[in-house]
Structure 1
Amino acid sequence: MKISVLGSTGSIGTSALDVISNLKNYTVVGLSANNNKTLLNKQINKFKPKYVAVGSSELKDISLIKEADLVLIAVVGFAGLIPLINAIKLKKRIALANKEALVIAGDLINKLIRKYPAEIIPVDSEHSAIFQCINGNNPEEISKIILTASGGPFRNYPYKKLSKVCVNDVLKHPTWKMGKKITVDSATMINKGFEVIEAHYLFGVPYDKIEVVIHPQSIVHSGVEFTDGSIIAQLGRTDMRLPIQYALTYPERVQSTVKKLNLTEVGKLEFFKLSAKNFPCFELAMSAAKISGSMLTVLNAANEVAVMKFLDNKISFIKIPKLIEKAMKKHKVIKNPDLEDIIEVDSETRKYVEEIAR
């Protein structure tokens, strides 16, 4: 199996290469990174790929994915959209770890998949869980999707207290080790909003049949309720190597180096109703989902800029949703945006949020 890993120096990319190191008959033919050249050089020396790309502009080069049997897209944010489109047009099997591409262009992506026989296997732990729960069952018998969320580091914080949190507070996720951007997204819960949208497009389930449940232990990664009332859920350790390996080896399951889950050690599993009012970013994501069209591009672009500003200590944590809301209110929605529209709206939104964040 020939694999290209796009975003090889990030959290998912490094975990994926760790998984690949322990798989037989898997060869890395392509690697890409944004700017971590030191780590990329180490990866090149170890895996000896035929193709290497550095920076978002080089991601557009299809030679990186042309020879691969499977393409892992672990690039963060908007930058993952063009590689995903290229991989679909080349009819590849795609292990998708980039949720933003489906958020901003879900309708466009699904149209392309209907045209080209590409295959998407989700890498996100929640969507991998849902994929596994649906596998072998009739999708028409789905009653609802149950999407679990840890609640992040501020699950029990009153909203007013969030004005005083700093970057280090936000980056202390209670159950997962992730990259900085997605850790902030998890703290604001916009990540869970993105995941609802992603589930809608991946599995063709209406928004009113996707329920978010707070599950602090992060052991139940998600589940599916069927028409007879049965719920099938997937449980596992909080280690991204598990869903990554499943996406790479599907439909087979092979021995993993991850320590197996011991339920008696876990002891208890808790579930709580999501109080969305404490997470305005989640509410904004659901609002954008209902409006749909180009508003989803605005949601993502505004969030990407706001999160970077927060990580650079330019704005407070609670200003993130305020910037997103302003961008959404300003935007005139395009109902069925094409790729050109999406790129233009993304660019305009970024410029606007940069201006109002000063």
Structure 2
Amino acid sequence: MSLALFQRATGRELWHLVLPGQRNDKATRDALVDLQAAGRAREELRLPDNRKLWTPTAAGHREAAALLPAGTKLAALRPERDGKAAAYSEHALDVIATASLLARAGIGHLTAFTTEVEHKVPHRRSLFTDLVLRDPGADVPLLLVEVDRENESTGTLVDKLTTYRTWCELPAKGTTKTKFETSLRRPGARTHDLRLWPTLYPATGREGLPPVALVFEAGRTRKPRPGAGPLTPEQKKEKQKTDHRRLLRRAQAVEAASEALWYAPLYQEHDVTARDYHQALPVVATTLPLLRARGADAAIWRRFGRPGWHTLTDALDNPDGDRQLTEERAVVEQARREKERGGARAPPSGLHPLRGEVHGRAVGGARAGRDLG
């Protein structure tokens, strides 16, 4: 069943998804061998570290479809080629590794994950999300995950975020243009009442659009110089550090270039500095090495527009912009009344005593003073 959801994997990736209580992946590997004997799975090839890469057979694919809940999206069945020369994608293995590490930290479970989910946008190419987590009622009920192996440019990743935002702003089916445009002028959470995404995904439990997670992994390979020997353990460690620093720079470049897509805009009211986080696209980022080393529940996540490292739940949480708006309205109204009575002058814009914590920082071309979400 798990292979049909993720198409191909090794016992290591399936371990935390199917047998999380086991101390190692031996039971998972034994189960895969049993499935092979039953004609439900087949070994596609051996990886460089001698692990077996497994994929379901047609019979296993059909059996999984019968066992899983109706409507569950299965991964495409891989055709069987002659011999062991079938090419495999390291990206696909990284996707299931991400799901496994999230599940190991209690974020999602086997049937909560779906791969290659299509998001159609009019007049744009469809976006196929690498991994979607749907777990209604959980601390993280929804997460759209993109795994990047440095095989795309920064501009391509920004274009993906643009497509996500465009898709999240689509109207629900059957909604008239007039009603939809009226809903967009409503403040706060009501803006989403007639949008498409709440009809397809569980409530996020937070302000804003569905959150997007970017998981970066080193994908560059460099051929050794002729006659050069294998790397020493010290050289391997140094290379890993260099690769990771490059991944962090890549994440920062995407953050700076995509600011217009994820920041929380100001409420459109005079003398108000509160931000409408209902309009924000939450984007968080981490690396696969950090997920492996520290776990998905550790403070290894960066929220675009926010300094520091956070746990995933903290990174997804927002300041209470609605409460801040209410408080600032009260301050402005009180100042107006005092001014009418000849009392204290209204405080200048942006200096209200109840403004609250600053949750952002200027990045890239950000305007000075912008409080980013």
The alignment's TM-score, normalised by the length of structure 1, stands at: 0.28
Structure number with greater Rg is 2
Higher relative contact order (CA 8 A, sep 6+): 1
Which structure shows the bigger proportion of residues in helix conformation? Answer: 1
